[in-house]
């Protein structure tokens, strides 16, 4: 028997239903899982782009990928195109795939930079990146050569997981949580109609409201707005466009950025901005003017404060999703943070009433993960060449976290990218964004000198040729979606 026999999940957005589905799958009937949600309150309804790690979550649930995409009107995502981030008119892609191939223990990019420094014809980073080439060519296939994530409709995803979780034994209770009964720890959720929902352990998935972790337990919040000052968003769907691009687009604006996410039935669009530098009306106009198809609804406003809860696991309560904190969706990491919190919780599942050490370990790992993602996002803002705009000037001039400062300077001095194993963004991600934003190393690893110049040139040429050849074999993304996972 499990020491914790009943879990109550407060909230049924993406976080609530992902948690319910995963716990039901792993623990089966040995755990009593109840989820309380309120249709009247609803969900945030955004969160349409993901990173490749989501495949691990889907496979834990034994989901059929085609069925999942069909149900959620999804498409494949090979990376994110960043337009105008380094400077106006410039663009680059952060793709999910490998860039080049390592040679003799040394990462590829040292050879590539050395060739450029010596005036060789190494070409662009993207010439060595099949994911990027396929994204721009609008091609896709499931293949060991490509690394993919998904775009999907967040509402349909939650509904899909709800069906899955309920079939797995999760009890759903419709009702508004009016109060939380706390003694030493949380005892029950009190609903507006008078019902009390008791449990051994509570998971707060109530979104930005954070009713349990903050409202009841007053855990505290670490505010990151001094590094990530955007605090508002507008989201608007527009008609689907053809062909369906297999990548997200993030376009820098005067005081923030806009997203574009292609789905089967519509395009998701939004504007994330800093209210100190632009009015809501201006932000709205900037979003609407760049839609490439007819708007299907009014733009929906959302307010947020970037940061994290001081503890994610406090007493017998764990915050998952927006209740745990928020990092803006520039690299599509929120759903990933939900997933990794669930995976970590399953590994550190409470063994008895005294779970302080487990909670400590959970909090330390989660905070490390969030700070690592935070640094990566700050990089996009901080290293910019948009010199004539006050928002971008203030991002360039801000003091950044020491951890990020160290990584940028180490790369600039030596081209070294030393990424700890637990970090979600690996070397190719940091390389693409550092290079894309315009950080150039002054030197490369001395070992590169041991490869003769002609051999190096041949190595680089071979990789470019291989990438080109493989691209030719890939079908169109549209055709792939149509054939395998089209929602009819």
Ligand X SMILES: Cc1cc2nc3c(=O)[nH]c(=O)nc-3n(C[C@H](O)[C@H](O)[C@H](O)COP(=O)(O)OP(=O)(O)OC[C@H]3O[C@@H](n4cnc5c(N)ncnc54)[C@H](O)[C@@H]3O)c2cc1C
Report in angstroms how near the CB of residue 205 gets to ligand X at its nearest. Answer: 5
**What count of other Cβ atoms lies within 10 Å of the Cβ of residue 304?**
18
Three-state secondary structure of 243-297: CCCCCEEEEEECCEEEEEEECCCEEEEEEEECCCCCCHHHHHHHHHHCCCCCECC
- Asked whether 380 and 90 are in contact (CB, 8 A), the reply is no
Pick 35 or 467: Cβ nearer ligand X: 35
Helical axes 14-27 vs 154-167, angle rounded to 10°: 30
Pick 97 or 270: Cβ nearer ligand X: 270
Q: Which of residues 74-133 bind ligand X (CB under 6 A)?
A: none
Q: Work out whether 301 is an interface residue with ligand X (CB under 6 A).
A: no
183 is in an annotated binding site: no
Please identify, among the stretches 202-210, 249-257, 411-419, 451-459, the one whose residues bind ligand X according to the rule CB under 6 A. Answer: 202-210
331 is in an annotated binding site: yes
Pick 4 or 49: Cβ nearer ligand X: 49
Q: Work out whether 307 is an interface residue with ligand X (CB under 6 A).
A: no
Please identify, among the stretches 273-281, 318-326, 425-433, 466-474, the one whose residues bind ligand X according to the rule CB under 6 A. Answer: 318-326
Q: Contact with ligand X (CB under 6 A): which of 22, 69, 103, 205? A: 205
Pairing state between β 317-319 and 201-204: parallel
Q: What are phi and psi of 91, to 5 degrees?
A: -145, 155
**What count of other Cβ atoms lies within 10 Å of the Cβ of residue 198?**
13
Report in angstroms how near the CB of residue 380 gets to ligand X at its nearest. Answer: 15
218 is in an annotated binding site: no
Q: Contact with ligand X (CB under 6 A): which of 126, 207, 229, 262? A: 207
Q: Which of residues 42-71 bind ligand X (CB under 6 A)?
A: 42-44, 46-50
Pairing state between β 171-174 and 32-37: parallel
Tokens of 357: 């050490």
Please identify, among the stretches 8-16, 58-66, 362-370, 461-469, the one whose residues bind ligand X according to the rule CB under 6 A. Answer: 8-16
Return d(Cα 205, Cα 480) in angstroms, integer.
35
Question: Could you tell me which of 200, 186, 205, 203 has the C-alpha nearest to residue 351?
Answer: 200
Q: Three-state DSSP class for 224?
A: coil
Return d(Cα 429, Cα 423) in angstroms, integer.
11
Q: Which of residues 321-350 bind ligand X (CB under 6 A)?
A: 321-323, 329, 332, 334-335
Pick 303 or 450: Cβ nearer ligand X: 303
Report in angstroms how near the CB of residue 247 gets to ligand X at its nearest. Answer: 13
Report in angstroms how near the CB of residue 268 gets to ligand X at its nearest. Answer: 8
- Give the DSSP H or E segment for 188: strand 186-191
Q: What are phi and psi of 34, to 5 degrees?
A: -120, 135
Q: Work out whether 36 is an interface residue with ligand X (CB under 6 A).
A: yes
Name the DSSP letter for residue 84: S
Report in angstroms how near the CB of residue 156 gets to ligand X at its nearest. Answer: 12
Q: ∠420-426-429 over CA atoms, to 5°?
A: 145
307 is in an annotated binding site: no
Q: What are phi and psi of 8, to 5 degrees?
A: -115, 125
Q: ∠200-206-211 over CA atoms, to 5°?
A: 70
Burial 34-44 (b: 16+ CB within 10 A, else e): bbbbbeeeebb
Set 5, 77, 218, 310: catalytic member: 77
Pick 373 or 379: Cβ nearer ligand X: 373
Report in angstroms how near the CB of residue 219 gets to ligand X at its nearest. Answer: 16
Q: Contact with ligand X (CB under 6 A): which of 176, 218, 265, 483? A: 176
71 is in an annotated binding site: no
Pick 14 or 258: Cβ nearer ligand X: 14
Pick 136 or 150: Cβ nearer ligand X: 150
- Give the DSSP H or E segment for 223: strand 221-223
Report in angstroms how near the CB of residue 125 gets to ligand X at its nearest. Answer: 25
Mark whether 77 is an active-site residue: yes
Pick 192 or 473: Cβ nearer ligand X: 192
How many chain residues bind ligand X (CB under 6 A)? 38
Q: Which of residues 268-287 bind ligand X (CB under 6 A)?
A: 270
Q: Contact with ligand X (CB under 6 A): which of 4, 9, 13, 125? A: 13
Q: Work out whether 41 is an interface residue with ligand X (CB under 6 A).
A: yes
Q: Where are the beta strands (DSSP E) in 50-111?
A: 75-77, 79-83, 91-95
Return d(Cα 169, Cα 371) in angstroms, integer.
36
34 is in an annotated binding site: no
Per the annotation, binding residues for FAD are 12-15, 322, 335
Q: Annotated catalytic sites, by residue?
A: 77
Per the annotation, binding residues are 12-15, 77, 322, 331, 335
Per the annotation, binding residues for 7-chloro-L-tryptophan are 77
Binding site for ligand X (CB under 6 A): 11-16, 36-38, 41-44, 46-50, 154, 176-177, 205-207, 209, 211, 233, 235, 270, 302, 304, 321-323, 329, 332, 334-335
């Amino acid at each position: 028997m499990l020491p914790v026999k009943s879990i109550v999940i407060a909230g049924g957005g993406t976080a609530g239903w992902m948690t319910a589905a995963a716990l039901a799958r792993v623990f089966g009937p040995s755990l009593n899982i109840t989820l309380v949600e309120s249709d009247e309150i609803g969900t945030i309804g955004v969160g349409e782009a993901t990173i490749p790690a989501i495949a691990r979550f889907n496979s834990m649930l034994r989901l059929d990928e085609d069925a999942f995409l069909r149900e959620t009107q999804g498409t494949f995502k090979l990376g994110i195109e960043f337009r105008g981030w380094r400077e106006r008119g410039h663009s680059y892609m952060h793709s999910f795939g490998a860039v080049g191939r390592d040679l003799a223990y040394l990462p590829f990019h040292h050879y590539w930079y050395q060739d450029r420094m010596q005036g060789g014809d190494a070409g662009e980073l993207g010439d060595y990146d099949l994911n990027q080439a396929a994204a721009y060519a609008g091609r896709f296939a499931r293949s060991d050569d490509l690394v993919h994530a998904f775009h999907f409709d967040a509402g349909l995803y939650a509904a899909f997981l709800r069906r899955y979780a309920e079939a797995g034994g999760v009890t759903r209770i419709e009702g508004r949580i009016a109060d939380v009964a706390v003694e030493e720890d949380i005892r029950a959720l009190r609903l507006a109609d008078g019902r009390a929902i008791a449990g051994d352990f509570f998971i707060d998935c109530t979104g930005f409201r954070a009713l349990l972790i903050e409202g009841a337990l007053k855990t505290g919040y670490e505010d990151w707005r001094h590094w990530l000052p955007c605090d508002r968003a507008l989201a608007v769907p527009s008609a689907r466009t053809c062909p369906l691009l297999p990548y997200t687009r993030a376009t820098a604006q005067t005081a923030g950025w806009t997203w574009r996410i292609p789905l089967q039935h519509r395009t998701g669009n939004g504007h994330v901005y800093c209210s100190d530098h632009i009015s809501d009306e201006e932000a709205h106009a900037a979003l609407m003017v760049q839609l490439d198809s007819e708007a299907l609804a009014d733009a929906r406003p959302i307010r947020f404060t970037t940061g994290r809860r001081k503890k994610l696991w406090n007493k017998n309560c764990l915050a998952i999703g927006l209740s745990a904190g928020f990092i803006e969706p520039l690299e599509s990491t929120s759903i990933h943070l939900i997933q990794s919190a669930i995976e970590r919780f399953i590994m550190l599942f409470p063994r008895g009433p005294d779970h302080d050490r487990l909670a400590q370990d959970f909090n330390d790992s989660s905070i490390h993960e969030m700070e690592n993602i935070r640094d990566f996002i700050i990089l996009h803002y901080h290293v910019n060449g948009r010199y004539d705009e006050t928002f971008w000037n203030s991002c360039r001039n801000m003091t950044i976290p020491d951890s990020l400062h160290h990584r940028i300077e180490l790369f600039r001095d030596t081209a070294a990218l030393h990424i700890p194993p637990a970090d979600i963004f690996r070397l190719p991600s940091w390389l693409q964004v550092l290079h894309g934003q315009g950080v150039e190393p002054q030197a490369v690893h001395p070992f590169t000198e041991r490869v003769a110049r002609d051999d190096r040139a041949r190595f680089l040429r071979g990789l470019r040729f291989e990438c080109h050849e493989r691209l030719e074999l890939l079908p169109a993304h549209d055709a792939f979606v149509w054939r395998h996972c089209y929602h009819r």
